[in-house]
Structure 1
Amino acid sequence: MPDQQIFLLGNLVIMVAYAAIMVAIVVPVARAGQLRTNRLAMATALIFFSCAVGHGLHAAMAYQTVTQIPVAHQMHMHAAGWSWTSALWDLCTAAAGIYYWTLRRSYGVLLGKGAIYVDPWGQRRLEEADARERAARDAAEAHRATLATVVEHTDDAVLGLTPDGIITAWNGGAERLFGYTAEEVLGQPATIMADERGSGEQADVLARIRQGERGIAYEARRLRKDGTLVDVALTVTPIQDHAGTVIGASAVARDITAAKEATERRRAIENRSNQAQRMESLGKLAGGVAHDFNNILAIIANYTEFVAEETADQPRVQADLRQVRTAVERATNLTRQLLTFTRAEAIQPQDVDLNAAVTEVQTMLERTIGEHIDLLAVPSAQPLTVHADPGQLQQVLLNLAINARDAMPEGGSLVLEANSVTLDGDEVNMQPPLPAGTYARLLVSDTGEGMSPETAARIFEPFYTTKPQGKGTGLGLATVYGIVTEAAGSINVYSEPGIGTTFRVYLPLASTTAGNAVSPPVPRTPPPRGDGSTVLVVEDEAALARVVARILTNAGYHVLTAAEATEALGLYEQHGCDALLTDVIMPGISGRRLADLLHERQPDLPVLYMSGYSNGLLGTTHILDEDIAFLEKPFTAADLLHKLATTCEKSPSHVRL
């Protein structure tokens, strides 16, 4: 009996052990979802299950023996098939084992890790797979290390953030860009680098990242550690775990301050170029209008003189004619301003002391500007000499001062200042731009109403004015612009509404010292008479041609008139002439070309040019030489006769073109 008890106990232990092994196999296979697909594992579990059942049968048989069942009944149980049952179950166990080894030849392992048994060939394959896995891990680690090195040393700032905006990573580029070390910012909110507006911007971007946006790119302004501002281009992307949940965000910031400055400078240069082109177009338009208007004024002025001569004994008519003369003079001044704007005003440049010019204008203004204006002149500590027309320079200062006065109806301060300044050539607010160098500078500052940027951008356009109707022509600052550019200078305006305006005029310094005084006007004597000399007059404005012919005829000249160059050449071939009086700009052949053609026939022929454009055509357009005889429209009879006589007196040696 003791043997049966030991047999019973042993079978029970083995049964439990096999059952435990079976469970240990089935549970992980089930968790892996491989109950139907992993046949090798299930075959292994089946072996241990059958073995456990077999040992259970043996334990049941031993238990019957131990409990001393009667012999007759035992024999009956054996006869009933307990032995056959055990034998059949052992066959099932053997079949399961054969099935397992059949599968084992192709599978090699059960679940890989924790395999029950691996044969030598399978072990070799496992080691090779493990070596490949280690190599892949090493390559991935090397890649991550390289990537980390690149991120650490890139110039761009790379930040890691939690979904709530707490800084978790900080590379060297971020330290260089923002000035904070990693120890100072890790664990801190990213809002330490933003103002109130930037903080709201950050919160909005992080909210969009948490909601699933893949990447957000935008430009913003951030704060460095020292409090200075920096313009950055930001790219924020989400960081997700294996399940796709957003666990953080990465932000890449690039400094675009220099790029934005370059873009703004390029835009300013383009705007300045467009402004210069617009001013040039307006100048051409204004010059054309002035030219035609001067022809009309010349007709009106001279016919007024004709009427005055014939009605000398009628005081009332003479009074009316004086009003006409006054209107003509006003119109002439208006066209002169237009011609100045278009750089077509006759000028007499000379060396001028700016300090003396400022003092002279101050003296003039003190008598006229009004007691409600505090006038202050600040001359330069060093002598400043420029090469310009003194009258035009005075006109610049007076126009700017008058505009300043009009901008201070309730009173204020007006400062005239002269000094020198060195420019680097990159200034973007100069009209027109100037090369680098040292220049004389005139400043006219007021504490008046100021101007909006839109107004300041248009103030040099002709006929543009903010004054009430009838209070201004809109040519004052256009005239200033024309004078300054004619003197190879530039002008700049700075204004703030409610604060005031400052005009800065830059002029090239002269190489010689000032001191050439303007010669006093010489009293004009009556013009000499023509004594029958033939003058060929070429003028496409018929009415003006008639006026000129009448003036010359009354002065004793014989006059031939032509409307254009071809007709003039025909008259010359028929009659010849002693002098040529021609308009410069005409349809077809120009006055300069006509003079050249006649000089081929008569080299010593005196030529007097006339034009509403005046000598603005010299130098810039190269239509005429600088030493030509020139008469600016509108002109009086005395002007014409004196200029023609002077031109003929200089012939032949100084008239050759």
Structure 2
Amino acid sequence: MTIVPEQLFLLGNLVIMVAYAAIMVAIVVPVRRAGQLRSNKLAVATALIFFSCAVGHGLHAIATYRSIVAAGAPAHLHGVGWSWPSAIWDLITATIGVYYWTLRRGYGVLLGGGSIYVSPGETHRIDEADARERAARDVAESHRATLAAVAEHTDAAIIGVDLQGRITAWNGGAEVMFGWRAHEIIGGPVSMIGDESGAEQQVEILARINQGERHVAYEARRLRRDGSPVELSVNLAAIRDSSGAILGASVVARDIGAAKEAADRQRALEERTHQAQRMESLGKLAGGIAHDFNNILAIIVNYTEFAIEAGAGNDDVRADLAHVRIAADRAMNLTRQLLTFTRGDTIQPQDVDLNAGIGEVRAMLDRTIGEDIALFARPCDRPLVVHGDPGQLQQVLLNLAINARDAMPDGGTLVIEADEAELDGEQLNMQPTVPAGRYARLQVSDTGEGMSAEVAAHIFEPFYTTKPRGKGTGLGLATVYGIVTEAGGSINVFSEPGVGTTFRIYLPLATTEAGAPVPVARGAAPPGGDGRTILVVEDEAALARVVTRILTGAGYRVLTAGTGAEAHAIFNEKGCDALLTDVIMPEMSGPRLAELVHERAPGLPVLYMSGYSNGLLGTTRVLGEEFPLLEKPFTADELLHRVHEALAAPTFSRAPSGPRETGAPR
């Protein structure tokens, strides 16, 4: 059978149609298997092109077939089913299909979004780009791992908090600082580490972060798991997602309790240094004035004597001159006090028993102090021998007693005591400072008007007085200061307005070489706390921090409160093994707090502390003499030993009950 051109044209179109259909299937099948019929638009478009070409060649084949059938065989060359241009075009498209198929064998099909075929060279470039991206991801992941390790092991507490106040992150520093493990606290409210006021502050800070504030820094007090407080410096920063929306806050908290204590001590040391410098300057000024004034007084006194002798027989003139002489004597007494303050007066030191001095002063005061003031003298139970001028030491006690009398115009209680004390050389409120050692201690306490801190800072300056004009010279306490410092001692003053005042005078014992006190004989180390809980009640924040640090370092758990009411609430909530409380506090006294605590826990040990002497508190019935009292200032060893004694005592210390006498400290 002879094949005519129309039959050849029909066959060619059928072959090309099938080939294009096969190519379309070769594209669509892997794309479909990859699930990219909708996402890989380029692959689908290419498949549609080959599909349309296959349909076109199919239509050519149908048209040719109809022409052959209509014309019969043999077909004429001029039949309508085909033409030379169509045949040439079909040949070209067939060649393109063959070319595509050969390329397909050397190119990989890339079923990624946006592309079908990638050449070998392009594949190499893409692989290099992928390798660079993977390396960058590895570096970033390494940096994140390093940062996470740093955050986890830093001493600072790093905490993540969402906008609802829930904890989302908790590093190792937070575990050490607060005592909570990460799995115990993550997901819980941030109020778990704060009291009521702290929780309100946290809500306010998170609201500021949510409103767009980028960074917040502040200081705050938070609570550890055991209820003990921790002073913190806190920095908050907003946490944002990739779109910039605020998700929460990162919190970095550092314990600044030790730094605050150091700052308090440094400030006190600077104030003490300034006080010493001021007193030295005033001493030089007063000494110069006293010496010059003594020269003038010598002239006045002698010429007055001359005039008195010359005025013999004229009684009126002699009487007037006698008044001049009396005034000159008073002026000489003032200059003598100034010289004492500046250590410029002649003294005759010798060994003196302070007990004997207290007895002599009491005998003088009994006749002069007034019936409305109760006077108590408590000498030491053993001799207290110091090296000093007897007259000057007696003057110290008289000056302090007279000041106490003047501070109690409506009556009150005056207590003079003597005992031994041990100083560690670290007390910050001593004027001037003295080395560590054992000292004789004189205490003069009253229930008078008291002094503010501003007044107490100037009381030893010459001519400084709070008395009305004409009622005082301002030299009494300056004289006391000069006598005590000349004897190598120091003074401590504790006073509160409306409560009273206690002066403590420390003098080296006579067995100690002048200027070189014997080092403190340290006893056995105080026993550890063994995790027992002490509730410390002290309204002086700096002292509360010191006590907390001492007790915590010895193994005790410490709960602190600034007022009696706050302490009572903490006790009801958390309990304690012993109560260490100040005696005199605003609103609620230490004894009253002890009464309330003993209603719930009758056997709870109580140790009192006060800046007032035990003799004064016992005499005025604020605190019975049988109750344990730790007198301020105290050393760390004294505190720990007394706390241990209170815990080990077979009987507890109940607070005194009953009304308080008029004039007693509040």
TM-score (normalised: structure 2): 0.65
Give yes or no for contact 1:22–1:46 (8 Å, CA) kept in 2.
no
Contact kept, 8 Å, 2:425 with 2:436, in 1: the verdict is: yes
Identity of aligned residues (%): 58
> Which residue pairs with 1:373 in the alignment?
373
1:56 aligns with 2:43: no
The verdict on how the C-alpha distance between 1:336 and 1:108 changes in structure 2, with shifts beyond 3 A counting, is farther
The alpha-carbon deviation at position 392 of structure 1 amounts to 1.1
Would the aligned equivalents of 1:240 and 1:247 in 2 still touch at CA under 8 Å? Answer: yes
2:476 & 2:94 partners in 1: Cα distance? 117
Partner Cα separation in structure 1 for residue 397 and residue 208 of structure 2? 60
Deviation at 1:97, TM superposition (A): 10
Cα deviation 1:379-438 (Å, max 9, x = unaligned) = 223321111111111111111112112222222221111112221212211111111211
CA drift at 1:305: 0.7
Alignment of 1:320-335 (within 5 A): 320-335=320-335
Distance 1:157 1:214, change over 3 A: same
SS at match of 1:328: helix
Residue of structure 2 in register with 1:480 after alignment:
480
Equivalent-residue separation in structure 1 for 2:374 and 2:79 (angstroms): 138
Q: Quick one: distance in 1 between partners of 2:14 and 2:82?
A: 22
Confirm or deny: 8 A CA contact 2:17 2:55 kept in the other structure. Answer: no
What is the CA-CA distance between 1:493 and the residue it aligns to? 0.9
What is the one-letter code of the residue matched to 1:153? Answer: H
**Aligned-residue offset at 1:84:** 6.3
2:347 corresponds in structure 1 to 347
**CA distance in 1: counterparts of 2:408 and 2:68, whole angstroms:** 134
- Pairing 1:280-319 to 2, within 5 Å after superposition: 280-319=280-319
Tell me how far 1:510 sits from its aligned partner.
0.9
* Residue pair 1:12, 1:59 contacting (<8 A) in 2 also: no
Kindly provide the amino acid, as one letter, of the partner of residue 291 in structure 2: H
Give the superposition deviation at 1:352.
1.0
How many angstroms does 1:193 deviate by?
1.8
How far apart in 1 are the matches of 2:218 and 2:330? 60
Cα gap change, 1:70/1:98 in structure 2, threshold over 3 Å: closer, same or farther?
closer
2:470 equivalent to 1:470: yes
**Distance in 2 between the 1:86 and 1:213 partners?**
77
Q: Which protein is bigger by CA-based radius of gyration?
A: 1
Q: Per-residue deviation at 1:153? A: 2.1
Offset, 1:63: 7.8
Distance, in Å, in 2 between the alignment partners of 1:160 and 1:489 is 55
Q: Please identify, of 346-355 and 192-201, the stretch whose mean Cα deviation from structure 2 is larger.
A: 192-201
Q: Distance in 2 between matches of 1:234 and 1:221?
A: 10
Q: Distance in 1 between matches of 2:86 and 2:470?
A: 130
Pairing of 1:446-457 with structure 2 (within 5 A)? 446-457=446-457
What corresponds to 2:461 in structure 1? 461
Q: Against the structure 1 CA distance between its residues 82 and 231, is the aligned structure 2 distance closer, same or farther, given a 3 Å change threshold?
A: farther
Report the Cα offset of residue 301 of structure 1: 0.7
1:174 aligns with 2:150: no
Q: For 1:570-601, what per-residue CA distance to the aligned partner results, in whole angstroms no more than 9, with x for missing partners? A: xxxxxxxxxxxxxxxxxxxxxxxxxxxxxxxx
Secondary structure in 2 aligned to 1:249? Answer: strand
CA shift at 1:206, angstroms?
Answer: 2.4
Spell out, residue by residue over 1:521-560, the C-alpha distance to the aligned partner (whole angstroms, 9 max, x if none): xxxxxxxxxxxxxxxxxxxxxxxxxxxxxxxxxxxxxxxx
Which runs of no fewer than 5 residues in structure 1 stay unpaired?
Answer: 31-41, 514-657
Which one is further off, 46-55 or 450-459? Answer: 46-55
Map of 1:492 onto structure 2: 492
Name the SS of the counterpart of 1:244 in structure 2: coil
Give the aligned partner of residue 224 of structure 2: 224
Specify the code of the residue in structure 1 equivalent to 2:470: G
Counterpart Cα distance in 1 of 2:428 and 2:149: 42
Deviations 1:94-141 (CA, angstroms, capped at 9, x unpaired)? 779989999999x99868679645566655555555555545444444
Alpha-carbon distance change, 45 to 297 in structure 1, aligned in 2, over 3 angstroms:
same
Secondary structure at 1:236 match in 2? strand
C-alpha distance in structure 1 between counterparts of 2:340 and 2:91, whole Å: 125
Say whether 1:357 aligns with 2:361.
no
Paired with 2:188 and 2:316, the residues of 1 have a C-alpha distance of 94
2:171 maps to a residue whose letter is N
Cα offsets for 1:442-493 (capped at 9, x unmatched): 1111122211111111111111111111211111111111111111111111
- Offset at residue 69 of structure 1 (A): 13
1:234-254 deviation digits (Å, cap 9, x = unpaired): 222222222222223221211
Asked if structure 1 preserves the Cα contact closer than 8 Å seen for 2:384 and 2:440, the reply is yes
Q: Match of 2:334, as an amino acid?
A: L
| Local SS of the residue matching 2:296 | helix
For residues 478 and 170 of structure 2, the distance between their equivalents in structure 1, rounded to whole angstroms, comes to: 57
Q: 2:257 maps to which residue?
A: 257
The alignment's C-alpha RMSD in Å is 4.2
1:400 is paired with a residue of what secondary structure? helix
Q: By how many angstroms is 1:351 displaced?
A: 0.9
- 2:414 corresponding residue in structure 1: 414
- Structure 1 position 188, deviation (Å): 1.6
Q: Check if 1:202 corresponds to 2:202.
A: yes
What is the aligned residue count? 498
Q: Match for 1:382: what amino acid?
A: R
The answer as to whether partners of 1:385 and 1:512 remain within 8 angstroms in 2 is: no
What residue is the counterpart of 1:425 in the other structure? 425
CA-to-aligned-CA distance 1:55-80 (integer Å, 9 cap, x gap): 233455678899999947999x9848
User: What SS does structure 2 have at the residue aligned with 1:204?
Assistant: helix
Shift of 1:262: 1.3
- Give the letter aligned to residue 333 of structure 2: N
Q: Partner residue of 1:336?
A: 336
SS at match of 1:253: strand
Letter in 2 for 1:248: G
Q: Return the alpha-carbon distance in structure 1 between the equivalents of residues 389 and 176 of structure 2.
A: 56
Deviation at 1:184, TM superposition (A): 2.6
Once the 2 structures are TM-superposed, how far is the Cα of residue 210 of structure 1 from its aligned partner?
2.6
Cα distance change, pair 118–432 in 1 and its aligned pair in 2 (3 A):
same
Matched residue type, 1:168: T
- Secondary structure at the aligned position of 2:222 is classed as strand
Give the CA deviation at 1:51. Answer: 0.4
Q: Structure 1 CA distance, aligned partners of 2:394 and 2:233?
A: 51
* Contact kept? 2:231, 2:257, Cα under 8 Å: yes
Match in the other structure for 1:188: 188
